[in-house]
């Protein structure tokens, strides 16, 4: 699954943060999708910009459903970073509960040795590719780790690479009732990369409306 929020004119951040576009209901959708996932996949740039922390314990019925399905109490975070440009003292690593496994970092063999050594103490590193992360290999590896449902939370470069490789089954898109404009604060759109060889088709599975927000679930066809 891929989950994003965007303004009506396609911006996914305001002044670098997606929270400026969301609302209470969008946050509820965000928490619900996380509660369904075995693992949460995110790019290093999004981790830095949004100040990622370890996933929280799902509430109520989601927690019960996870237990019945044999899922871990909380989803595991997987960060994609070919250069390992991450701070080992960031909350993502330092606030992890002791009973949880450390985050996974999918990286490339070309990653600097000093960064590799620093992060190996706080995360599990997986080498997937020479200079960039092989996402097809990554999802196969996550399946070997037991992940049946993987939720991607961006950013735009990672979204583009996943879709270009045919690795996305569904897109959950919150359309925020805002126009950000081209003032330089809008940031990138949903995807960052070249044109696909063949357009990626979507089928609208359902749409909900609340307080001028639209919550759309598309299936990739």
Q: For the domain that residue 15 is a member of, what is the CATH number? A: 3.40.430.10
Count of beta carbons in the 10 Å neighbourhood of residue 108? 18
Distance CA 85, CA 14 (A): 23
Question: What pLDDT, on the 0 to 100 scale, is given for residue 187?
Answer: 61
The pLDDT tens digits of the residues spanning 155-167 come to 999 999 999 999 9
45 & 141 share domain: yes
**If pLDDT is split at 50, 70 and 90, which confidence band does 48 have?**
very high
- What residues make up the domain containing 33? 1-37+150-221
Instruction: Tell me the H-state helices in 90-213.
Output: 91-94, 113-120, 135-144, 156-164
Of 148, 163, 198, the residue at which a domain comes to its end is 148
Question: What pLDDT, on the 0 to 100 scale, is given for residue 17?
Answer: 85
128 & 47 share domain: yes
**If pLDDT is split at 50, 70 and 90, which confidence band does 95 have?**
very high
199 & 106 share domain: no
The pLDDT tens digits of the residues spanning 13-22 come to 888 888 889 8
55 & 87 share domain: yes
Question: Residue 101 CA to chain centroid, in angstroms?
Answer: 18
Of 148, 163, 190, the residue at which a domain comes to its end is 148
The pLDDT tens digits of the residues spanning 171-210 come to 999 999 999 986 544 566 899 999 998 889 999 999 999 9
| Domain total in the chain | 2
The model carries a pTM of 0.94
Distance CA 55, CA 21 (A): 21
Question: What pLDDT, on the 0 to 100 scale, is given for residue 181?
Answer: 86
């Amino acid at each position: 699954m891929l989950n994003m929020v965007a303004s009506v004119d396609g911006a996914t951040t305001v002044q670098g943060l997606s929270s400026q576009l969301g609302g209470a209901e969008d946050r509820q959708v965000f928490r619900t999708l996380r509660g369904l996932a075995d693992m949460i996949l995110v790019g290093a740039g999004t981790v830095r910009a949004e100040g990622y922390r370890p996933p929280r314990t799902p509430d109520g019925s989601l927690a019960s459903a996870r237990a019945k399905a044999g899922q871990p109490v909380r989803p595991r975070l997987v960060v994609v970073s070919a250069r390992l440009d991450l701070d080992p003292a960031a909350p993502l690593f330092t606030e992890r509960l002791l009973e949880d496994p450390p985050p996974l970092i999918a990286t490339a063999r070309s990653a600097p040795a000093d960064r590799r050594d620093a992060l190996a103490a706080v995360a599990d590193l997986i080498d997937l590719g020479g200079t960039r992360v092989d996402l097809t290999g990554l999802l196969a590896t996550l399946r070997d780790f037991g992940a049946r449902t993987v939720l991607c939370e961006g950013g735009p470069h990672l979204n583009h690479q996943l879709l270009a490789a045919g690795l996305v089954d569904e897109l959950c898109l919150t359309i925020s009732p805002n126009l950000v404009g081209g003032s330089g604060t809008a940031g990138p759109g949903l995807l960052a990369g070249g044109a696909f060889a063949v357009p990626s088709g979507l089928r609208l599975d359902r749409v909900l409306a609340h307080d001028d927000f639209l919550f759309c679930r598309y299936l990739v066809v």
